[in-house]
């Protein structure tokens, strides 16, 4: 009998976690082989390796403990890969040499598949003096463009996708440019952005007071704090970025605040980390631990939970020794502190099985109770490891016990730490678990509510055809198996129907006993007014959260699933997210209006002349064809090919603004150039910029990177006649949804955040 609760679970295992040879033949014949491989690899450092292998296998069996994807895919394979998910890189020096040294470190880290986080607050603002060269600084955003281009290049080389997080302090002189940077949809697409918000700033916002923007002791501007806060809120209201990180709270509550300062997080925000810090993640599947689901005596087995947590802590501690690291500095940092991030998944399903409504006061109290149980078990297990193997090297009992998060820990746990030390400086974190949750049978993700009770996915068959299969939430499937077609109880709620305040309540309840942080998306309805939207962030601040990320579907962020009141309240595809295409190419008239632009690439002998001709449809211009001419014969073949492809796309009609975004994203490994104060990563990106300028000037798009202004062909029939949402870059299916701050594909599990 298959261990998998759903076909999609087995497909995720096969695609992402199953060990295969280079020719695609399977080494892991069944999922049990994968569990055995992981258990054996993580038990190798133990004196009783065979005994611990069996205990580790039992924890993995039936998806009770879910190590993060890099552990599942890499442990025991003999491959030179990191088992850590992501890293915060070193502090960026305010010097050209130091900046590009850090760029190299980032590239080496991403080459091994690790996501990275950076604080760009350390780079001097735009326009500041650069001593010794009689020039003005270009500012941190110009260097973020370089990082963005590097990430694209690493991805284009076939490496696993790695997301990036960029943070900037709320008092940096360029903070307003940072806030609005992604209003250009083609810019910084490899980054998640978050503002580091200080306690002083929040007090100034509430007092409606002034706020100084400064760097290196010099005040550059003074703004109104509430106005700056409103700029952050307006940007995230419109385009879901930047996020907000309450950085002073993070540092105050850090167990290691006596020996490290945190200024950034990993890409999804659940791991605030010091320079060269790494996040090691794993999740307890709460949905597998509920006894007597949906019965009056339904309850989560807390004894089993404590035992499973203790085993998981030992497994994750062993990963610190088993993993490779892209950089030596990362290995030293991990060994000195041995921080791990043990979290949960399946929380919403576990609550449903015990008859609780996600987001209610009772559910929040139960969540806090379960999180405390996990925290106690994790800390006591780490004390036992310290008895056996020694405390983490930077452990100082007096300082550690006086740190922020430890001050609330129970006295018996504090006494054990004082006497024996502790093996791992930090132990708990709640990460995005989108893919491993599918692998575990489509349990609810992390501490998120159930996103959809069921949905249809198209599966590609060997003969090229596609079949549809239903993917059902784990708890909903259990209900169906037990009660058939009986209507779901009223306490079944999902992400589409919950009020934002309910999301915040659950995040705050979990955060109390999580020593790192939480990756959580607070879903907001599209029609929420701006004042109510801002209140969500204030509620997050007032309730003790360490950060806040929201998602409000709109024309910029894209639509997510909407909920129909019919058919068991099952979310259905929103038809508003489709791109419209003309079914037949447009015919070319005898004459067209157009413009020719001269493009001079630095260090190139000959200029390039680019002509864009437009078609007039219903009194409005839209691009129809492109010609590129140059005396440089080196460019001849690719320019002809490029113009033919772009012209063919233009003649199909619809929203062709994506052509600009794709061209602007092309990176030349030989180096880009600075043009009009902006870093342009390649000559193709420069061509994309020229086409964008033309589309703006003719009114076809609204502004830089803002997409289609209006489509004169919007009423034509689409290919296939069926509305479509955004396509997954991995499998091509139109099944992307926002989960835990990451666009995630329901069909193949692909996630923007890796």
Q: Give catalytic status of residue 170 as yes or no.
A: no
Q: What is the pLDDT of residue 556?
A: 63
* Top-confidence residue, 394 or 557: 394
Q: Do residues 27 and 95 both lie within one domain?
A: no
**pLDDT surpasses 60 at 211:** yes
Instruction: Check 10, 260, 270, 625 and give the catalytic one.
Output: 270
* Top-confidence residue, 674 or 261: 261
407 class by beta-carbon count within 10 Å (0-12 exposed, 13-18 middle, 19+ buried): exposed
Q: How many CA atoms lie within 13 A of 122 on its CB side?
A: 17
**Are 439 and 73 contacting, i.e. CB atoms less than 8 angstroms apart?**
no
Q: Which domain holds residue 111?
A: 89-254
Domain count, the chain: 3
Q: Do residues 106 and 118 both lie within one domain?
A: yes
Q: Do residues 166 and 132 both lie within one domain?
A: yes
Q: Do residues 216 and 242 both lie within one domain?
A: yes
User: Rounded to an integer, what distance in angstroms lies between the CA atom of residue 278 and that of residue 149?
Assistant: 23
Please choose, from the candidates 104, 68, 101, 67, the residue with its C-alpha nearest in 3D space to the C-alpha of residue 86: 68
Q: What is the pLDDT of residue 118?
A: 94
Residue 534 covered by a domain = no
For the stretch 389-431, pLDDT in tens is 999 999 999 999 999 899 999 999 999 999 999 999 999 999 9
Distance of CA 589 to the CA centre of its chain: 47
- Domain boundary, last residue among 523, 545, 576: 523
Q: What CA–CA distances, in Å, run from 520 to 105, 268, 448, 674?
A: 29, 9, 7, 38
For the stretch 154-191, pLDDT in tens is 764 444 556 899 999 999 999 999 999 988 877 888 89
Residue 9 covered by a domain = yes
Query: For residue 594, how many other CB atoms are within 10 A of its CB?
Result: 18
User: Rounded to an integer, what distance in angstroms lies between the CA atom of residue 291 and that of residue 277?
Assistant: 38
Residue 540 covered by a domain = no
The beta strand positions in 541-588, using DSSP E, are 547-548, 550-551, 562-563, 571-572
Please choose, from the candidates 443, 282, 447, 431, the residue with its C-alpha nearest in 3D space to the C-alpha of residue 370: 447
Residue 747 covered by a domain = no
Instruction: Give me the chain's average pLDDT, please.
Output: 86
Q: How many CA atoms lie within 13 A of 246 on its CB side?
A: 25
Residue 743 covered by a domain = no
Residue 753 covered by a domain = no
- CATH number of the domain within which 333 lies: 3.20.70.20
Q: Do residues 299 and 219 both lie within one domain?
A: no
**pLDDT surpasses 70 at 562:** no
CA angle 633, 637, 639 (to 5 degrees): 90
Q: Do residues 236 and 305 both lie within one domain?
A: no
Residue 468 covered by a domain = no
Q: Do residues 2 and 62 both lie within one domain?
A: yes
Least reliable range by pLDDT among 55-59, 166-170, 495-499, 504-508? 495-499
Q: Do residues 285 and 408 both lie within one domain?
A: yes
Q: Do residues 199 and 344 both lie within one domain?
A: no
Q: Give catalytic status of residue 268 as yes or no.
A: yes
* Top-confidence residue, 573 or 193: 193
For the stretch 34-49, pLDDT in tens is 999 999 999 999 999 9
Q: Do residues 487 and 382 both lie within one domain?
A: yes
**% the chain with pLDDT above 90:** 60
Q: Give catalytic status of residue 151 as yes or no.
A: no
Q: What is the pLDDT of residue 457?
A: 79
**pLDDT surpasses 60 at 91:** yes
In the predicted model, what is the mean pLDDT of residues 560-569? 39
Q: Do residues 43 and 124 both lie within one domain?
A: no
**Are 122 and 142 contacting, i.e. CB atoms less than 8 angstroms apart?**
no
Classify the phi-psi angles of 422: left when phi > 0, otherwise alpha if psi is within -120 to 50, otherwise beta: beta
Task: Please state the pTM of the whole predicted model.
Answer: 0.80
User: Rounded to an integer, what distance in angstroms lies between the CA atom of residue 683 and that of residue 545?
Assistant: 45
Q: Do residues 672 and 650 both lie within one domain?
A: yes
Instruction: Check 85, 102, 257, 266 and give the catalytic one.
Output: 266
Residue 467 covered by a domain = no
Instruction: Check 86, 151, 170, 268 and give the catalytic one.
Output: 268
Distance of CA 479 to the CA centre of its chain: 31
**pLDDT surpasses 50 at 218:** yes
Least reliable range by pLDDT among 102-111, 176-185, 688-697, 736-745? 736-745
Handedness of CA 211, 213, 214, 220 (dihedral sign): negative
């Amino acid at each position: 009998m298959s261990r998998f609760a759903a076909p999609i679970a087995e497909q995720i295992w096969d695609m992402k976690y199953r060990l295969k040879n280079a020719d695609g033949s399977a080494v892991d014949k069944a999922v049990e082989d994968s569990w055995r491989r992981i258990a054996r690899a993580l038990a190798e450092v133990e004196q009783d390796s065979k005994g611990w292998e069996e205990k580790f296998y039992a924890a993995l069996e039936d998806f009770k403990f879910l190590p993060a994807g890099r552990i599942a895919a890499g442990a025991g394979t003999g491959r030179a890969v990191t088992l850590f998910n992501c890293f915060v890189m070193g502090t960026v020096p305010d010097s050209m040499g130091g900046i590009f040294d850090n760029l190299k470190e980032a590239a080496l880290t991403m080459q091994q598949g690790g996501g990275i986080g950076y604080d760009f607050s350390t780079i001097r603002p735009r326009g500041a003096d650069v001593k010794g060269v009689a020039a003005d600084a270009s500012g941190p955003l110009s260097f973020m463009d370089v990082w963005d281009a590097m990430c694209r290049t690493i991805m284009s080389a076939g490496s696993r996708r790695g997301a990036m997080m960029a943070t900037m302090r709320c008092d940096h002189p360029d903070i307003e440019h940072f806030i609005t940077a992604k209003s250009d949809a083609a810019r910084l697409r490899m980054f998640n952005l978050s503002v580091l918000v200080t306690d002083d700033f929040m007090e100034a916002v509430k007092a409606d007071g002034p706020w100084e923007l400064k760097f290196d002791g010099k005040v550059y501007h003074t703004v109104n704090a509430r106005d700056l806060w409103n700029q952050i809120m307006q940007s995230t209201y419109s385009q879901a970025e930047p996020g907000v990180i309450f950085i002073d709270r993070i540092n105050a509550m850090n167990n290691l605040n006596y020996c490290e300062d945190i200024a950034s997080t990993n890409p999804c925000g659940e791991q605030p980390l010091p320079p060269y810090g790494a996040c090691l993640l794993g999740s307890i599947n709460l949905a597998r631990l509920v006894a007597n689901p949906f019965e009056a005596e339904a309850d989560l087995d807390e004894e089993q939970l404590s035992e499973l947590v203790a085993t998981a802590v030992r497994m994750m501690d062993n990963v610190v020794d088993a993993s490779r690291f892209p950089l030596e500095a990362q290995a030293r940092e991990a060994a000195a502190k041995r921080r791990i991030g043990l979290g949960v998944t399946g929380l919403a399903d576990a609550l449903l099985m015990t008859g609780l409504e996600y987001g209610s006061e009772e559910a929040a109290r139960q969540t806090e109770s379960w999180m405390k149980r996990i925290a106690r078990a994790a800390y006591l297990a780490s004390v036992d490891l310290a008895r056996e193997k020694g405390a983490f090297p930077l452990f100082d009992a007096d300082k550690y016990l006086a740190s922020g998060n430890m001050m609330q820990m129970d006295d018996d746990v504090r006494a054990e730490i004082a006497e024996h030390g502790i093996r791992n400086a930090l132990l708990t974190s709640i990460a995005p678990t989108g893919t491993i949750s599918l692998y575990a049978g489509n349990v609810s993700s992390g501490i998120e509510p159930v996103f959809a009770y069921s949905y249809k996915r198209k599966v590609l068959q060997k003969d090229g055809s596609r079949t549809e299969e239903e993917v059902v939430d784990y708890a909903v499937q259990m209900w169906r198996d037990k009660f058939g077609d009986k209507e779901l109880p009223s306490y079944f709620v999902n992400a589409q129907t919950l009020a934002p305040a309910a999301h915040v309540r659950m995040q705050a309840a979990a955060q109390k006993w999580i020593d790192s942080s939480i990756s959580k998306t607070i879903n907001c309805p599209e029609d929420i007014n701006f004042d109510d939207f801002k209140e969500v962030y204030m509620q997050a601040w007032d309730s003790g959260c360490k950060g806040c990320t929201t998602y409000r579907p709109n024309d910029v962020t894209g639509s997510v699933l909407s909920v129909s009141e019919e058919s068991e309240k099952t979310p259905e595809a929103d038809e508003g997210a489709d791109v419209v295409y003309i079914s037949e190419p447009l015919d070319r008239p005898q004459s067209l209006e157009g413009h020719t632009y001269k493009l001079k690439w630095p260090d190139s002998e000959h200029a390039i002349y680019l002509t864009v001709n437009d078609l007039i449809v219903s009194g409005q211009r839209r691009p129809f064809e492109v010609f590129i001419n140059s005396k440089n014969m080196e460019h001849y073949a690719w320019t002809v090919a490029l113009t033919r492809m772009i012209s063919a796309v233009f003649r199909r009609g619809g929203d062709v603004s994506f052509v600009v975004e794709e061209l602007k994203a092309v990176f030349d490994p030989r180096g880009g150039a600075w043009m009009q104060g902006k870093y342009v990563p390649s000559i193709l990106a420069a061509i994309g910029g020229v086409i964008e300028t033309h589309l703006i000037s003719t009114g076809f798009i609204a502004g830089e990177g803002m997409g289609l202004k209006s489509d004169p062909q919007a009423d034509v029939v689409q290919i296939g006649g069926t509305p479509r949402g955004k396509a997954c870059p991995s499998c091509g299916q139109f099944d992307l949804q926002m989960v835990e701050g990451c666009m995630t594909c329901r069909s193949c599990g692909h996630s923007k955040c890796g």
